């Protein structure tokens, strides 16, 4: 079955550490996205990529970095510069054009 896989499901990080969240899709989608969701909040766009080797900042990119070396993969690194990283992180992918997203199941990151 085609889909989008995020790992790990839960992640704990000590302050000052960088962590990388994995996102892999086998849907052959060109575009991939990272969103952050805080309790009771909507979805805020961190980064997106519409083609391999190219990505754009979203609304809240500070303290995050991404890469897009393969069409299937779009990892997100939460750096120590992100002041409040505890949140639910969602990866999504989509076909070119006006189509809906396919979301992953999310990674819950907690800073301890």
Partner 1 sequence: GENVEQHPSTLSVQEGDSAVIKCTYSDSASNYFPWYKQELGKGPQLIIDIRSNVGEKKDQRIAVTLNKTAKHFSLHITETQPEDSAVYFCAALGGSGGSYIPTFGRGTSLIVHP
Binding site for partner 1 (CB under 8 A): 6, 31, 33, 41-43, 45, 48, 50, 58, 90, 92, 94, 96-106
Nearer to partner 1, 92 or 109 (CB): 92
How near is the Cβ of 98 to partner 1 at its closest, in Å?
4
Residue 74 or 101 having the CB closest to partner 1? 101
Q: Which is nearer to partner 1, 85 or 104 (CB)?
A: 104
Shortest distance, position 37 Cβ to partner 1, whole Å: 9
Please count the CA atoms within 13 angstroms of the CA of 101 that sit on its side-chain side: 15
SS (H, E, C) 4-73: EEEECCEEEECCCCCEEEEEEECCCCCEEEEEEECCCCCEEEEEEEEECCEEEECCCCCCEEECCCECCE
């Amino acid at each position: 079955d085609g889909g989008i896989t995020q790992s790990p499901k839960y992640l704990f990080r000590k302050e000052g550490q960088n962590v990388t969240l994995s996102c892999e899709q086998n849907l052959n989608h060109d575009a991939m996205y990272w969103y952050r969701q805080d309790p009771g909040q909507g979805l805020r766009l961190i980064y997106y990529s519409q083609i391999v080797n190219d990505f754009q900042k979203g609304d809240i990119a500070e303290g995050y970095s991404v890469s897009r070396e393969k069409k299937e993969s779009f990892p997100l690194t939460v750096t120590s510069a992100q002041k409040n990283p505890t949140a639910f992180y969602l990866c999504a992918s989509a076909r070119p054009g006006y189509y809906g997203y396919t979301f992953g199941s999310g990674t819950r990151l907690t800073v301890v």
